[in-house]
Structure 1
Amino acid sequence: MLAALQAARRPVFIAGRGARAAGDPLTRLADACGALLAVSAAAKGLFAGNPWNLDVAGGFATPLATELIGAADLVVAWGSTLNMWTTRHGELIPSSAVVVQVDHDPAAFGVNRPVDLTVAGDVAAVAEAVHDRLGDQPTGSVAGGWRTPELAQRIRDHGRWRTVPYRDEGGGTPATIDPRTLSAALDDLLPPDRTVVVDSGNFMGYPSMWLDVPDVAGFCFTQAFQSVGLGLASALGAAVARPDRLTVAALGDGGFLMSAAELVTAVRLALPLLVVIYDDAAYGAEVHHFGPDGHPLETVTFLDTDLAAIASGYGCDGLTIRTVDDLAPVRRWLAGPRTRPLVVDAKVCGARGSWWLEEGSAATEPAPCA
């Protein structure tokens, strides 16, 4: 592995769930060998604030992250099995790149794709050992200038989804709000110290990628089995565990309807919990996966339901929004005292699938940000 790092000119580290406690040693090693930093979705926030952070690799990756990871000549997976989501169905990492996998469990090696070199051991310990062995020896990347001022500027300018232009698709009668516009407005509105908990569904890329988090503890991704409906209960746990931070539960309407009874506990504990429902009146992933092939959708589409009223019935504050201006009550709630949860029923446009879902359906053909 040391030789691979010394030879590489364009190394990229991808840190996964198994590297969540190894941010500092990985950062030091990346600085020493000139690597760019990326994470799987489960480790979002691990390198928050680092100027060489490309954020999430794979289906959630920005166009810039996709370009740069696609140009790597060495990819080191730290505590990540490089599953299809992290590798964009295998298309993200170039075939010419050397791939190294570091994991404490040898059974994880090569389970999702072939790798060229494996290292068994604790991620942090391996990173520290390699850093010590590397010492002052120059690497190809440092000598060749992968980390240039120009690239740092590109990451600042284009390294977040918020900086990628899009055509707002909100509006209509009755009005709906574009989930990107909603998420960006929330990101501006919410305090920086936050825990973002995301349920599963067509919507999930928007809060995952448009809402910043302060560190790896600030992001809870409930996607291990792609099971819808786990977000709200997970958010309750996060709110109890970290009362010093605002907990934001980002749910789809399907997941909310599956788990709404959890609000009883949130009210009983007087949790200052913000629940944002990306409400497209459907199980959106199923609609956009199966609708184009002509499958009937009656069982996965809903009547337009007043989810804010349902939340109020549980004792929460409830709010329906269709435009950015409708978010004003959220600002007032944030100002305090936040003695009971606020549930926001955001009526989002759902005419097409999210960008990552379109890409996943195509499997090999990149989709536009839609």
Structure 2
Amino acid sequence: MKFHEALARTLKAHGVQKIFGLMGDANLYAVDSFVRDAGGQFFPVVNEATCVLAANGYARISGELGVASVTHGPALTNTVTALVEGVRERTPILVLAGDTAVVDKENIQSISQRDIVMPTGAGFEQLRTPETLGEDVAVAIHRAHTERRPVVLNIPVDFQWLDVDYEEPQGVWWVRPSAATPGADDLDVAAGIVASAKRPIVLAGRGGGQAREALVRLAERIGAPLATTLRGRDLFRGEPHDLHIFGTLSHEIASEVIADSDCVIAFGAGLNKWTTADHTLLKGKAVVQIDSDLEAIGRFEGVTAGVHGDSGAVATALADLLDEAEVPSSGYASEALAKRLAEFRVEDTFVDQSTDETVDMRTAILKIDAAFPQDRSLVFDGGRFVMHSYHLFHVKHPNDYVHTVNFGSIGLGLGNAIGAAQASDRPTLLVAGDGGFMLGNVGELNSAVRHGADLVVVILNDGAYGAEHVQFRAKGMDPTPSMFDWPEFADVAESLGARGYTVRNLKELDEVLAELPNRDRPVLIDVKLDPDKVTIPH
């Protein structure tokens, strides 16, 4: 058969069901074969960056390999920021990139594609010859899974119509990692530290997301409050001693409890500078770090003890060791603390500043969070709004949340949300700022419409680049250069086939939220904010 047909069948044989892409000279025939002959699904988008972002969002929600397809030259250079984001998020993504023919040295789209990819941190795999198709595809998929990053498979355009002998992939090229068995000595050291703690806290990151029951049991056993990193958000929601997010986003009660603690037992948490507030929150405390990723232990600073192992297995083993030694509970997770946490209401921490023309962002977030189905995928873009969004929006499980600001870029939310919406039958909620929405290619809203995504986009619209606006104001300068007279986003949404709403006050917000259960297409809600009333939590 032809090479492009063999490529499509090889991908399908490796379990690839969905590809996000933009067609061009070097990938159109393979994409066509993937749909027509292999029975796969192809989701065309407007910009090549979105191909990779959508693959990232899909992989994060589904837990499977994300796959993107682009053609050569400028198509690949358009993906650079998205590749960096995928690398830093440690997402397994296969990017099928066409390349110009070696003999066509004057091709206007010719560029050294390896040199484009390597600085992003993504992997690069060259498809060597038509005869090595099966092996090269398998190696690229293997690398994406095991290295947990995007891998670009570079495919010369002149291979497409060559004849090849297709062979069904044989054997197993990768397996899901199994739980690492903790060392007995490491467990004994960790157990000794935990046993001597008077005010311990159990902290979970995304890596501890599958061990909720075991972590709660350990916390109850040692009398420890529970907390999570931003990536582990809401893992312990509903538990009486849940402190919510540990770090720079902690609320006042959590901050007090964390400051007073003497031991942090971290499961699957990287302990970066945001979780640790530039490492100040761990100063003077014993730190026990447990992670199935050996490289994560002590990555950012030294810890008192490290245990390489599965979070659930280690938590269970520690609880058993403490039972055997009849170590008493610390009592730090007291009834008084549970009562304080139960009575804590975010609404009581601020005065609503909504008017007839603008909405207080904090109130808007709380209302939207409560009105939108709780079983959802949640995606944030980047921007000034995101700090409140991080701790006021919720998910049922950390795996339902897609993080998009690993590279500090705005504009990556919509692409990720399109992929997330194709990864499950749950609705997807994207929260973006006005600048990020525009930068992220507003035309992709039509991609969501065309693909029937159950997607609601909330734009928290202050009519400005917020981070720059607040800096101008802080120095007593005119913020006009940071402000924009955007088009009415609701009208833009309608023109792209979505349903658009404009919200200028709380009454209009309530009316729009009441309409959400009746949606039959992607929805955009443009919430008007006063840029001088957008606060940043401290």
Length-normalised TM-score, structure 2: 0.61
Alignment partner of 2:460 out of 257, 263, 278: 278
Match of 2:521, SS state, is: coil
Give the match for residue 87 of structure 2. Answer: none
Alignment partner of 1:147 out of 329, 333, 336: 333
Does residue 130 (structure 1) correspond to residue 318 (structure 2)? The answer is yes
Does residue 176 (structure 1) correspond to residue 362 (structure 2)? The answer is no
**Could you say if the C-alpha distance between residues 163 and 112 of structure 1 is closer, same or farther in structure 2, counting changes exceeding 3 Å?**
farther
**Could you say if the C-alpha distance between residues 35 and 321 of structure 1 is closer, same or farther in structure 2, counting changes exceeding 3 Å?**
same
Give the match for residue 74 of structure 1. Answer: 263
Give the match for residue 369 of structure 2. Answer: 187
Does residue 321 (structure 1) correspond to residue 503 (structure 2)? The answer is yes
Distance in 1 between residues matched to 2:289 and 2:468, nearest whole Å: 34
* Correspondences of 1:1-370 after superposition (within 5 Å): 1-93=190-282, 95-135=283-323, 137-139=325-327, 142=329, 144-158=330-344, 162-171=346-355, 175-243=357-425, 245-259=426-440, 260-289=442-471, 292-293=474-475, 300-336=482-518, 338-351=519-532, 354-356=535-537, 359=538
Distance in 2 between residues matched to 1:47 and 1:156, nearest whole Å: 14
Match of 2:460, SS state, is: strand
- Name the stretch that deviates more: 109-118 or 227-236: 109-118
Structure 1 segments unaligned to the other structure (5+ residues): 360-370
Q: Is the 8 A contact 2:223 2:334 kept in 1?
A: no
Q: Quick check: which has more Rg, 1 or 2? A: 2
Distance in 2 between residues matched to 1:4 and 1:328, nearest whole Å: 51
Percent identity, aligned pairs only, is: 35
Q: Is the 8 A contact 1:5 1:139 kept in 2?
A: no
Distance in 2 between residues matched to 1:186 and 1:136, nearest whole Å: 48
Deviations 1:275-333 (A, max 9, x none): 10011112212333465357886654312431121212211111111111112443343
Q: What's the CA shift for 1:163?
A: 4.4
Q: What's the CA shift for 1:135?
A: 2.6
Distance in 1 between residues matched to 2:476 and 2:347, nearest whole Å: 35
**Could you say if the C-alpha distance between residues 163 and 8 of structure 1 is closer, same or farther in structure 2, counting changes exceeding 3 Å?**
farther
Q: Which has the higher contact order (CA 8 A, sep 6+)?
A: 1
Deviations 1:76-121 (A, max 9, x none): 222222112112233333x321112222333333333332222222
Structure 2 segments unaligned to the other structure (5+ residues): 1-189
Matched to 2:258, the amino acid is I
Give the match for residue 60 of structure 2. Answer: none
Length-normalised TM-score, structure 1: 0.86
Give the match for residue 83 of structure 2. Answer: none
